[in-house]
Structure 1
Amino acid sequence: MMKNTALIFLILIGLYSMNIHAQNKILFVTSNQDFYGNTTIATANHFEEIIKPYDVFIKAGYTVDFVSPQGGAVPVGYINTSDSLQKKYLYNGWFMDKLEHTKKPTEVIIDDYTAIFYTGGGAAMYGVAENPVIQKIARSIYNKNGVISTICHGTAGIVYLTDENKKPLYSGRKITGFPDKFENRNAEYYKAFPFSIDKEINNNQGNFVYSDKGGDAFYIVDGRFVTGQDPTSASKVANEVIRILKTNFNNSDTSKKDDLEQITEVLLNYIEGTANGQPERLRKAFNPNFNLYTVEKDTLWIRSGEKYISNIKVGEKSNRKGSIISIDIEKDAAIAKAEIIVPNWRVFTDYFLILKYEGTWKIVHKSYTWRELLKA
């Protein structure tokens, strides 16, 4: 009897842990399509419609993974490098690596996610809607009280989405996306579309709605479907998804947000402590036995954290400028990346291993590299 009780306890603990983990993960659906149908007209996934909701989600403590029908690299386009947020992500190697290595649908662990988000761009019209495994993923997330969300042409991805009885999953729901009204229906790209989003949603018992104005951040929340008309609604759609998840999973991101805040503080203790001559802040950030690792002249160089801290003189400020590039958390372990610019000298890229023990996050390992800057 004791063995059976222990087994049941372990199963319950496992299910609880899995649920808490899932509450902080969102799956983005992208497309591998490079051209409009069989034409030579290039298409892509809409970069802004990826990075705007992505930025909202990760700042709220969620982890975002990417899937595509074939897995691997997906085309991105509609990029505006004058937009600071787009520029930030375009030159973020860690983020762009995610788009280069999207998951195959069969690699997705469905129980990890409580929301699915279909990104837009002309590429979204191809390969996603008819993919049975992506359909199964979305249906399973929805059946677990999760959220289905789309933006612009990403709504194409749900047109054939049904329940277990082959009834449209969004039957009777208001759904929006990029409407035919704003398409150039005489253009070759549109003629290559496999279907009209408006018509397919309506034909499958949905109620397709849109703003006649366009570009006014129009979106619709109907139950656990959150859909946006065009890129201007991307941030609002993401915030609505978060609101529903917090309501449906009232433990949803509390622990993760706390951890994210703590890790951010640890990293700022390192960045600002070094720049402002505050060795006591560095000691708060580091495990006492931590080391720094780099390679110089093809030789591994190891320096103790204590020696690093001893070089920081109290009150002696420097012109170093640091920023946190990314934080990835999994239970009691995290990895982070930061960039440190020392004008007229070097740009350092720091990678950290951060662990939580005795209720506190500490940097236990730092590896880094650098590149030289041209002197003014």
Structure 2
Amino acid sequence: MMIFFLTLSHFHAQNKILFVTSNQDHYGNTKINASNHFEEIIVPYDVFKKAGYLVDFVSPKGGPIPVGYINTSDSLQKRYLYDGWFMDKLEHTMNPTEIAAENYDAIFYSGGGAAMYGVPEDKDIQKIAAGIYARNGVISTICHGTAGIAFLKNENGESLYAGKKITGYPDHLEKKEMEYYKAFPFSIDQAIKNNKGKFVCSEKGNDGFYIVDGRFVTGQDPSSAANVAHKVVSILKKNFSEGQAPKNDAEQIREILLDYIEGTANGQLERLRKAFHPDFNLYTVAKDTLWVRSGQQYISNFKVGEKNNRKGQIISIDIENDAAIAKAKISVPGRIFTDYFLILKYQGAWKIVHKSYSWREVPKE
């Protein structure tokens, strides 16, 4: 058993990878449904998770994203499709304004027809990608996800991948006579070339083709998803191996407690959703009656970006295998709250599943 007593301080983020997805649900102005490619999300996600990375999802607008190309006969797809915790992440993708590039070692652009819209022109996502790359991070894409880096430039307005080999879903394999293709805002091949990249591809496709050029790792189609992910992990281990040991359980728990404390203080709702299990509940006693609220009800009390004068302090953490309890104090004008948390390790990550609390009045000065 490990017991820690501590005060609030800054902690370095755990190794993370940022997935870029799209909110677009139709091809341009047509009535043809568009979506993010489910396999191109879950295959790399599974590789990264098993390698010990945490994954966050971002989209231009934040919130829910459309998913498609789902094969329920595939065991891996079925497992994630019926995983409520994972699907909740796709329902609550982060807004680019909530992302700090320094928290991530790599960025991954998933594919699907939706990837052609919203993401390529998003300046905030472009800045995030450039920021990750500037910190020795990796930029990776799959299939139509390569559209997301079509206009990627550095702070001097120069192509971030000038002279580098890049792949993605090529024009010659598209069904150009179809309405979906006619609605595309640009050609991936040509856009990469216009931004001084060298577009390369496999002529036949569906053969796992991918290309690595420096810290750009790009895959042509879904068959290369695992190859891309494994190569990203390999590069990251080489680039960040020295002096960066994996975060231990205590450090990971501190991080989610800070997500709770700082998320409530700064109106960072996505940090709260990261800290809490989807079935998280709060319990307290009011007028000798047990009062229970769901995590969603609790989160709804805060507005995005609205800061307040809550001040938090982590008092203790007690860990036993995959279970932990923690204590924190939260000060607000006129009251001091004492929070007790039950925290469990779930799918490789610690999550707050239960919070009980009490408070006392503080005399006005």
TM-score by length of 1: 0.65
The change in CA–CA distance for 1:366 and 1:248 in structure 2 (over 3 A counts) is closer
Q: Deviations over 1:292-311 (max 9, x none)?
A: x99xxxx99xxxxxxxxxxx
* Whole-angstrom CA distance in 1 between matches of 2:122 and 2:142: 18
Q: Deviations over 1:191-213 (max 9, x none)?
A: 00000000010111100000112
Asked which structure has the greater RCO (Cα within 8 Å, sep 6+), the reply is: 2
The change in CA–CA distance for 1:195 and 1:365 in structure 2 (over 3 A counts) is closer
Aligned pairs for 1:133-152 within 5 A: 133-152=124-143
The change in CA–CA distance for 1:259 and 1:233 in structure 2 (over 3 A counts) is farther
Q: Which residue of 2 aligns with 1:225?
A: 216
The change in CA–CA distance for 1:49 and 1:334 in structure 2 (over 3 A counts) is farther
Q: Which residue of 2 aligns with 1:27?
A: 18
The change in CA–CA distance for 1:56 and 1:199 in structure 2 (over 3 A counts) is same
Q: Which residue of 2 aligns with 1:158?
A: 149
CA RMSD of aligned residues (A): 3.3
* Whole-angstrom CA distance in 1 between matches of 2:228 and 2:110: 11
Aligned pairs for 1:149-298 within 5 A: 149-251=140-242, 254-256=245-247
Q: Which residue of 2 aligns with 1:326?
A: none
* Whole-angstrom CA distance in 1 between matches of 2:243 and 2:219: 23
* Whole-angstrom CA distance in 2 between matches of 1:155 and 1:203: 14
Q: Which residue among 38, 57, 64 is the counterpart of 1:73?
A: 64
The change in CA–CA distance for 1:252 and 1:235 in structure 2 (over 3 A counts) is farther
Aligned-pair CA distance for 1:255: 2.2
Query: Which 4+ residue blocks in structure 1 deviate beyond 3 angstroms?
Result: 251-254, 331-337, 363-367
The change in CA–CA distance for 1:252 and 1:30 in structure 2 (over 3 A counts) is farther
Q: Deviations over 1:145-173 (max 9, x none)?
A: 00000000000000000011111101000
Q: Which runs of 5+ in 2 are unaligned?
A: 1-8, 254-281, 284-289, 292-316, 324-340, 355-365
Q: Which residue of 2 aligns with 1:327?
A: none
Letter matched to residue 140 of structure 1 = G
Name the % identity: 63
The change in CA–CA distance for 1:62 and 1:166 in structure 2 (over 3 A counts) is same
Letter matched to residue 216 of structure 2 = F
The change in CA–CA distance for 1:333 and 1:207 in structure 2 (over 3 A counts) is farther
Count of paired positions: 267
Q: Which residue among 112, 125, 138 is the counterpart of 2:103?
A: 112
Q: Deviations over 1:248-298 (max 9, x none)?
A: 101587424x759xx9xxxxxxxxxxxxxxxxxxxxxxxxxxxxx99xxxx
* Whole-angstrom CA distance in 2 between matches of 1:104 and 1:364: 21
Q: Deviations over 1:49-101 (max 9, x none)?
A: 00000000001110000000000000000000000000000000000000000
Aligned pairs for 1:340-359 within 5 A: 353-354=343-344
What SS does the aligned partner of 1:40 have?
A: coil
Q: Which runs of 5+ in 1 are unaligned?
A: 1-12, 264-292, 301-330, 338-350, 356-362, 368-376
Q: Are 1:334 and 1:354, in contact at CA under 8 Å, matched by a contact in 2?
A: no
Q: Which residue of 2 aligns with 1:49?
A: 40
Aligned-pair CA distance for 1:352: 6.7
Aligned pairs for 1:304-315 within 5 A: none
Q: Are 1:354 and 1:365, in contact at CA under 8 Å, matched by a contact in 2?
A: yes
